Amino acid sequence: MTAIGKSLSICLLLIALCLPAYAQQPGKIYRIGYLDPGTASANAVVLAPFRQELSKLGWIEGKNFTIEYLESKGQDRLPELAADLARLKVDLILVSGAQPASTAKSATTTIPIVMTGVADPVGGGLIASLARPGGNVTGLTGLGPELGTKRLEILKDTVPKLVRVGALRLPLANLATDLQLKELRPAAQALKLKLEEIETQADSKSIEGAFQSAKRKQVGAIMTVAVRSFFAARKRFVELAGKYRLPAIYPWKECVVDEGGLMSYGTDYEDMFRRSAHYVDKILKGTKPADLPVQQATKFEFVINLKAAKEINLTIPVRVLERADKVIK
C-alpha cells in the first residue's frame, strides 16, 4: 500500500471512530420511553410539538425512533411503569414534572433521562447543578414555585374583595406540591389572603368533593398546584369551576385555550417540549446527559377568557386585561 493509501485508511478509521453511535447503526430504531401520570389522550397536546421538533431535526417516527408510552392514569403506578421502561432497556426516558423524574431516576442510573417542567431539580436531588447536572438526568426546569405566587397576585387583582383562595393540592407528600406550597403560604400572608389548602386526587369524584369543600369554606377563588396528574384532569377542573361559579386560575394555558377555563399563567409547555427534543437529539447522537447543562424556562404566558368570565358574572379589570398575553373574546 502506498503512503497516500495508508494515510487515507488512517483518516477513514479516525472519522469512523469519531462518528456518534447512531451513525454506526443506520438500521437501528431508537426507543424513547415516556413516563407520565396522565393518559395518552391528555398528553397528546404536549407530545405533538415534541414530535414536530424531532421531525425538523431529521428524526422519522417508525423509521429511526418510536415512543414507548405506558399509560399510568395516576401517580400510584409510576414506579411500576418506570421499572418496566428500565427492563425494556429503552434508549432514553422523557418525563415531565418532579415526581415522574424522581421515579425514573430511582428506576435507572444508566438510561438517559430528559426532564421538562421540574421546578427545583437540584433541591429534589435529580441533578448536582444546572451547569453540571452529572449522572443520567438533564433537561429543562420550569420555575414552578415562583409562578404560583404570581397566580395568587393575579387572583387578588381580578376578584373584588377576595379574602379566601382555595389551593387544590395532592393529599400525600409530593415534591412538586410541597415546593409550590412553601412559596404560596407566605405569599398569601403578604397579600392578606387566607389560603385554604384542599386535598384532592386527580379522579373525577375526588375533584368534585374538593370543589364542594371549597364552597363550604366560602373561598372566593380557586387555583391548583402544577402537577402532571392535575394537567391530565384539567377538563374536569374547568367544568367544576364553572359549575360552582368559582373564578379559577390554572398553571397551563390548555385549560383556557382548549377547555374554556377563566385564566392561566405559567410556563409555555409546548415550547419546553420542543426544546426537550433538542436534548433527545443530542443524547441519541452520543452526547452524555451529564455534559448537557439544564436550561430554565424562557417563555411564560398569561391568558384570559372573557367568555368564561361572563358566564360567572365576573368583570375583569382593565389593568389585568392589559397584562395578558392573550385575551379570548
What is the per-residue pLDDT across 61-110, written as a single tens digit (0 to 9) for each?
A: 999 999 998 766 666 788 999 999 999 999 999 998 888 899 999 999 99
Residue 1 confidence (pLDDT): 47
Pairing assessment for the beta strands 263-267 and 300-305 based on DSSP bridges: antiparallel
Pairing assessment for the beta strands 164-169 and 194-199 based on DSSP bridges: parallel
- Residue 74 CA to residue 86 CA, distance in Å, equals 19
- Domain range annotation of the chain: 28-142+269-298, 144-267+301-328
**Long-range pairs, 298-302, Cβ under 8 A, ≥24:** 298/271, 299/267, 299/268, 299/271, 300/147, 300/265, 300/266, 300/267, 300/268, 301/253, 301/264, 301/265, 301/266, 301/268, 301/325, 301/326, 302/154, 302/263, 302/264, 302/265, 302/326
- CB count within 10 Å of CB 132 equals 12
DSSP-assigned letter for residue 61: B
Q: In sequence order, what are the residues at sequence separation of 6 or more whose Cβ sits closer than 8 angstroms to the Cβ of residue 100? A: 35, 36, 37, 78, 82, 228
Contact 286, 22 (CB under 8 A): yes
Cell (9 digits) for 185: 403560604
Query: C-alpha distances in angstroms, 140 versus 16, 57, 118, 255, 260?
Result: 32, 19, 7, 22, 28
Pairing assessment for the beta strands 30-35 and 65-69 based on DSSP bridges: parallel
- Residue 304 CA to residue 309 CA, distance in Å, equals 9
CATH architecture of 144-267+301-328: 3-Layer(aba) Sandwich (3.40)
- Residue 279 CA to residue 235 CA, distance in Å, equals 30
Which residues of the chain are under the pLDDT cut of 50? 1-24
Cell (9 digits) for 68: 414507548
- Residue 60 CA to residue 253 CA, distance in Å, equals 29
Fold agreement between 28-142+269-298 and 144-267+301-328: yes
Residue 71 confidence (pLDDT): 67
Is 0.85 surpassed by the pTM of this model?
Answer: no
Residue 5 confidence (pLDDT): 46
Residue 177 confidence (pLDDT): 84
Q: Is 139 left (phi over 0), alpha (psi -120 to 50) or beta?
A: left
- Residue 237 CA to residue 242 CA, distance in Å, equals 9
**Order of strands, edge to edge, in the sheet holding 65-69?**
65-69, 30-35, 92-96, 113-118, 137-141, 295-296
Contact 240, 213 (CB under 8 A): no
Q: Inter-axis angle of helices 269-284 and 40-56, to 10 degrees?
A: 60
CA-nearest of 135, 114, 213 to 168 is 213
Check if CATH label 3.50.50.60 holds for domain 28-142+269-298: no
Q: Phi, psi at residue 273, to the nearest 5°?
A: -70, -35
Q: What spatial distance separates the first Cα and last Cα of the chain, rounded to whole Å?
A: 77
Return the sign of the alpha-carbon dihedral for residues 125, 77, 176, 258: positive
Contact 106, 136 (CB under 8 A): no
Residue 74 confidence (pLDDT): 61
Place of cell 433537561: 139
